[in-house]
Amino acid sequence: MILKDKTQTSSASIKLDAGIKQEHDVAFYLRRAYKNRDNVMVLNDLRIEHDGESAQIDHLIVYTYGFIVVESKSIRGEVKVNEYGEWTRSYQGKWSGMPSPIKQAELQLKLLKQYLCANAEKVIGKFLGIQQGLGARCYDVFCAISSDTVIDRANAPKDIADKWVKSEFITDVLDKKMNFKKFYNVVGKICDTRPPFNQQELNNVCQFLLGNTPQHQSTIDIGPHVVWPLPSNISTSSKAQSGKAPALVNNSVVPTVTSARQFNTNSITLQCKHCGDCSSLTTQSGRYGYYVQCGACGRNTPLKQPCPSCNSQRTKISKRRELYQLLCSDCDKSFSIVH
Residue 22 shares a structural domain with residue 152:
yes
Overall number of domains in the chain:
2
Together in a domain, 171 and 278: no
- Are 332 and 213 in the same domain? no
Same domain for 207 and 276, yes or no, is no
- Helix 170-178 with 14-34: angle, nearest 10 deg: 50
In a shared domain, residues 46 and 148? yes
Residue 77 lies in a domain: yes
121 and 34 housed in the same domain: yes
Task: Determine the residue type at 195.
Answer: P
Report the C-alpha gap between 255 and 230 in whole angstroms: 11
Mean pLDDT split into 10-residue runs, the chain, 339 residues: 77 69 92 94 92 92 96 88 91 87 94 91 67 82 92 90 93 94 71 86 91 54 42 53 41 34 54 70 80 79 84 85 82 79
Same-domain pairing of 193 and 291:
no
Nearest CA to 140 among 169, 168, 179, 167?
Answer: 179
d(CA 8, CA 252): 12
CA distance 10 to 19: 10
Domain-embedded: residue 231: no
| Whether residue 183 sits in one domain with residue 282 | no
Q: Decide: helix, strand or coil at residue 42.
A: strand
Residue 323 lies in a domain: yes
Is residue 114 situated within a structural domain?
Answer: yes
Task: Classify each residue of 114-131 as buried b or exposed e, where b means 16 or more C-beta atoms within 10 Å of its C-beta.
Answer: ebbeeeeeebbeeeeeee
**Alpha carbon distances (Å) from 286 to 68, 111, 292:** 43, 36, 10
Does residue 336 form part of some domain? Answer: yes
pLDDT, residue 171, reads 96
Q: What pLDDT, on a 0 to 100 scale, did the predictor assign at position 256? A: 33
Query: Which structural domain, as residue segments, surrounds residue 88?
Result: 2-218
Which of 249, 250, 246 has its CA nearest to residue 258?
246
Judge if 117 and 29 occupy the same domain.
yes
Per-residue confidence (pLDDT) for residue 319, from 0 to 100:
82
User: Are 323 and 200 within one domain?
Assistant: no
Question: Which among 188, 218, 248 is the end of a domain?
Answer: 218
- In this structure, is residue 236 part of a structural domain? no
The 3-state DSSP class for residue 107 equals helix
Question: Residues 248, 252, 254, 259: is their CA dihedral positive or negative?
Answer: positive
- Residue partners of 82: CB distance under 8 A and separation at least 6: 88, 155, 156
Nearest to 72 by CA among 292, 333, 337, 338: 333
Query: Which residues, at least 6 apart from 125, have a Cβ–Cβ distance to it below 8 Å?
Result: 132, 201, 204
